[in-house]
Amino acid sequence: MQPIYDYHMHTPLCGHAVGWPDEYAQAALDAGLEEIGFSDHAPFVHMVDPGVTMGMSQLPDYYAMIEKTQQRFKNDLRIKMALEADFIPGYEDKTQAIIDDYDYDYIIGSVHFIKDWGFDDPDQRERWDQEDVNQVYSDYYELLRRSAKSGLFDIIGHCDLVKKFGHRATIDLTGEIKQTAQVFKETGVAIEINTAGWRKPCEEQYPAENCLKIYAATGIPLTFGSDAHTPEDVGADFKQAYALAKSAGFTEYVSFSKRNIDRVIRL
Ligand code: ZN
Ligand code: FE
Ligand code: FE
Ligand code: ZN
């Protein structure tokens, strides 16, 4: 078995993905998926970088492009309209305005920045050498909790992305993760098993199995995402992700419509 939904994929509008939405949709059909969601990088609220996110003026192009693909595939595939938006403290109002501009099915909230440092950006990788890795991890978890508490998001994206380049904390993070799970529970956000980690130096899905066990035990809703930046990656490693979800203790995953969980699917 494998999950039949892939809720995390990108488009060329973000400046670092290839393939048009029709190609992602076709790849999803070929992979046996029944539902997908486009969650391209929402415009940055704190700066402009055409190589990382679409610009504000491109949002209408995004809607039009995805709506066309929804139309073309309407008999074969359910296609959700979503965004992956950064959590940048101090810019919540600007983020809210972007989210309110369209009737989205869900919003993935992602922490890619600690203050001004894009810690998962290959161009800023050297900065890791100057940082205290344990401190980076606790700063990251604090931001994850704040992102959930912001109320802006439905799904918290790749919720241990901080390990991307293979830097590992030497302290026990169990307390940090449990505290985070509690906040996720109270704020009602879902998490995702994001398979992109298997294609990165950390060589492991996001989040790690020990995190998944805690989130499952806490009753956090689950989604699946490939974080595809190319059509070939749609549904990547979903068989392993399915097995992992089950062994971590999840019994179901969810789908979203208009910012609410509308279906629960048994694993
Ligand atoms: Zn990206
Ligand atoms: Fe991301
Ligand atoms: Fe992504
Ligand atoms: Zn992502």
State in Å: Cα 227 to ligand 4 middle: 6
Distance of CA 175 from the midpoint of ligand 3 (Å): 27
Q: State the ligand closest to the CA atom of 54.
A: 1
How far is the centre of ligand 3, averaged over its atoms, from the C-alpha of 41 (Å)?
A: 7
- In the reported structure, the alpha carbon of residue 3 is separated from the centroid of ligand 1 by a whole-number distance in angstroms of 22
CA of 72 to the centre of ligand 4 (A): 26
Which positions of the chain have pLDDT values less than 50? none
- Distance from Cα 175 to the centre of ligand 4, integer Å: 25
Q: What is the pLDDT of residue 3?
A: 84
**Nearest C-alpha neighbor of 69 from the set 18, 108, 19:** 19
Query: For residues 185 and 200, what is the distance between their CA atoms, to the nearest angstrom?
Result: 29
Instruction: List the beta bridge partners of residue 40.
Output: 83
Question: What pLDDT does residue 216 have?
Answer: 98
Distance from residue 111's CA to the centre of ligand 1 (Å) = 12
Cα 30 → chain centroid = 22
Give the pLDDT confidence of 236-255 residue by residue, as tens digits: 999 999 999 999 999 999 99
165 neighbors 129 (Cβ within 8 angstroms):
no
Q: How far does residue 122's CA lie from ligand 4's centre (Å)?
A: 14
Place of tokens 């549904």: 235
Residue 249 confidence (pLDDT): 98
Based on its alpha-carbon atoms, the radius of gyration of the chain, rounded to whole angstroms, reads 17
Ordered by where they begin, the domains of the chain are 5-266 (3.20.20.140)
CA 200 to ligand 1 center in whole angstroms = 13
Task: Enter the tokens of residue 163.
Answer: 């390990």
Ligand 4 is an ion; residues with CB less than 5 A from it: 227
**How many angstroms separate the alpha carbon of residue 110 from the centre of ligand 4?**
7
Provide the whole-model pTM. 0.98
d(CA 133, CA 124): 15
Q: Within 10 Å of residue 103's Cβ, how many Cβ atoms?
A: 9
pLDDT of residue 2: 84
For the chain, give the number of residues. 267
User: By CB neighbour count within 10 A (0-12 exposed, 13-18 middle, 19+ buried), where does 172 fall?
Assistant: exposed
Q: Rounded to whole angstroms, how far apart are CA atoms 162 and 206?
A: 10
